[in-house]
Amino acid sequence: MTVAIGQTAPLGPTVRRVLEGTPIAHLASVLPDGAPHSVPVWIGTHDDHIAILTGPSTRKARNLRRDPRVALSMTPAGNPFQPVIVRGRVVEWIEGDAAWEIVDQISTKYIGGPYSRGEQRVVLLIEPERQSAG
């Protein structure tokens, strides 16, 4: 499934299936000088959005507050030859207890339990504008 830039659409079934697994996604954002910045992230879904967690002062958080555009690439944990690519934008920042609920859901699927409360975390919801799988 491919959706054109500028349009939003619900997550396609293949993309959603990969996101609900345990892929390590690579999130690309834009640095202040226009250069790309890419980091591996845990990833999940929240309704029809893609959810990632981060510290509120990380480089990716600062980049995305300034320019909400993102590109994500990942492969299913069991099939590194099935690329999934999503482009979109951060449309919501969730903090506090609501964020921790989502953080723990994502953490539980990756490590089997809640995320450590030793560091502050926020959740970024990404609205997909273009998605492809396979």
**Does residue 17 lie within any of the structural domains?**
yes
Percent pLDDT > 90 in the chain is 86
CATH (domain of 48): 2.30.110.10
* Per-residue pLDDT at 8 exceeds 50: yes
Residue range of the domain that includes 76:
13-133
In whole angstroms, give the CA distance from residue 12 to residue 121.
Answer: 28
pTM of the predicted protein model: 0.90
**Does residue 76 lie within any of the structural domains?**
yes
- Cβ burial, residue 81 (10 Å; 0-12/13-18/19+): exposed
The per-residue pLDDT for range 20-42, each reduced to its tens digit, is 999 999 999 999 999 999 999 99
Domain tally, the chain:
1
**Does residue 83 lie within any of the structural domains?**
yes
Angle at 96 between CA 23 and CA 46, to 5 degrees: 35
